[in-house]
């Protein structure tokens, strides 16, 4: 069985910061997260750019559906 000096639960900003500092101090570190590396804030949550990105995705989705029952001429 492998042992670690630190096991970090979650891969968000705070967790990866703690893991990086510990690894830099020659600690053996494991990171456990069920979701993609990066955490909620960076990938799905609080970054304002995500709102802008989602808006662009919606406009693209509507444009792909034009002529198939979805019409939104003044979409912006």
Distance from chain centroid for Cα 37: 7
What tens digit of pLDDT does each residue of 14-67 get? 888 999 999 999 999 999 988 766 666 666 666 666 677 788 888 888 888 888
Q: How would DSSP label each residue in 16-31? A: HHHHHHHHHTT--EEE
Q: Which of 63, 67, 4, 64 is nearest to 30 (CA)?
A: 4
Q: What is the pTM of this model?
A: 0.50
| pLDDT(6) > 70 | yes
Measured distance CA(39)–CA(5) in Å, rounded: 22
Query: Cα–Cα distances in Å, from 52 out to 48, 57, 59, 68?
Result: 7, 9, 11, 25
């Amino acid at each position: 069985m492998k042992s670690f000096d630190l096991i970090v639960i979650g891969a968000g900003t705070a967790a990866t910061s703690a893991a990086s500092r510990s690894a830099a101090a020659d600690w053996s570190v494991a990171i456990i997260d069920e979701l993609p590396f990066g955490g909620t804030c960076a990938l799905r949550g609080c970054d304002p750019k995500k709102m802008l990105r989602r808006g662009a995705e919606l406009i693209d989705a509507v444009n792909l559906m034009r002529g198939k029952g979805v019409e939104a001429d003044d979409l912006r």
